[in-house]
């Protein structure tokens, strides 16, 4: 098994900072697919195969699978198992609860789905996160300053800095990263100055219109683990609704990877 830390190091060395978000939506599947969750398997597998040459990571979003219940979770497992083993798998679940509940969530993410990392809500504090950190070879991306407009309700003006400060304190095993939105470029450099030791997962570049260049320039750190992972989902997945959807996704992924480089 390749650890989270090793995969981050490999991404850093290969400079493959693109993360492809796997957010399949039945209503947006290419027109030749049947509109049922079983179609997610072939759709996601073709997207993964087409974009893998340009991506260092894949981020399946649990919501789009678990809304179909037990069948959806089986499909998610199939999709994750298909991702090449050398790629970083980030399970986008945004979990965070009291300790015993978090133990169960961690077991689900790291033992059942065998994801390399997971997104977490840190707002209940360390005891809600410690069960995830205990998997030292796995990673946790804490929501710090997200890309959505309502981030200002709680995360701004200062909560995000408290999260970054605590994350730096907790990151003793180099298995913690932060979610920082590309729409928040004014704060990215500030967060990096506080959290110098780990990766940033940066959503919001594609459909949300975040600033790619500023996100990279301000989000990369001096340490090997301190990389900016640029996530794009809709702009790649739904680049075409025709039978050429995989080729269109590859073209979009290549374009974005070249812009990142």
Domain count for the chain, please give it. Answer: 1
Q: pLDDT per residue over 33-54, tens digit each?
A: 998 999 999 999 999 999 999 9
CATH number of the domain encompassing residue 230: 3.20.20.70
Query: 189 is written with which tokens?
Result: 């450099």
Among residues 7, 15, 35, 94, the one annotated as catalytic is 94
Task: Provide the mean pLDDT of the chain.
Answer: 96
Q: pLDDT per residue over 128-178, tens digit each?
A: 999 999 999 999 999 999 999 899 999 998 999 999 999 999 999 999 999
Q: pTM higher than 0.95 for the full model?
A: yes
94 is catalytic: yes
pLDDT at residue 209, as a whole number: 75
The four Cα atoms 252, 257, 260, 261 give a dihedral, to 10 degrees, of -140
User: Can the peptide bond before residue 157 be classed as cis, meaning omega within 30 degrees of 0?
Assistant: yes
Query: 97 is written with which tokens?
Result: 């609860």
Enclosing domain of residue 38: 4-260
Provide the CB-side half-sphere exposure for 52 (13 A, CA): 15
pLDDT at residue 207, as a whole number: 66
The helices-and-strands tally (H runs, E runs) of the chain is 11, 8
> What CA–CA distance (Å, rounded) separates 92 from 2?
20
């Amino acid at each position: 098994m390749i650890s989270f830390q090793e995969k981050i190091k490999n991404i850093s060395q290969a400079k493959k900072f693109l993360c492809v978000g796997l957010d399949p939506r039945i209503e947006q599947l290419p027109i030749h697919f049947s509109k049922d969750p079983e179609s997610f398997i072939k759709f996601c597998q073709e997207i993964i195969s087409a974009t893998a040459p340009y991506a260092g990571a894949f981020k399946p979003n649990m919501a789009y699978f678990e809304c179909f219940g037990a069948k959806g979770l089986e499909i998610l497992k199939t999709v994750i198992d298909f991702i090449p083993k050398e790629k970083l798998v980030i399970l986008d679940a945004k979990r965070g609860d009291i300790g015993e509940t978090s133990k169960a969530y961690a077991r689900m993410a790291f033992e059942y789905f065998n994801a390399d990392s997971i997104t977490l809500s840190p707002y209940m504090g360390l005891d809600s996160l410690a069960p995830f950190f205990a998997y030292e070879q796995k990673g946790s991306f804490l929501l710090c300053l997200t890309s959505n407009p309502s981030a200002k309700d709680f995360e701004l003006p200062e909560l995000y800095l408290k999260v970054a400060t605590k994350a730096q304190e907790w990151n003793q095993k180099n298995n913690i990263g932060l979610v920082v939105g590309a729409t928040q470029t004014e704060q990215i450099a500030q967060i990096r100055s506080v959290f110098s030791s780990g990766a940033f997962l940066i959503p919001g570049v594609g459909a949300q219109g975040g600033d790619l260049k500023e996100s990279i320039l301000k989000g990369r750190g001096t340490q090997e683990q301190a990389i900016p992972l640029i996530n794009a989902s809709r702009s790649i997945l739904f680049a075409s609704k025709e039978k050429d959807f995989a080729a269109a996704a590859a073209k979009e992924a290549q374009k974005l990877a070249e812009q990142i480089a």
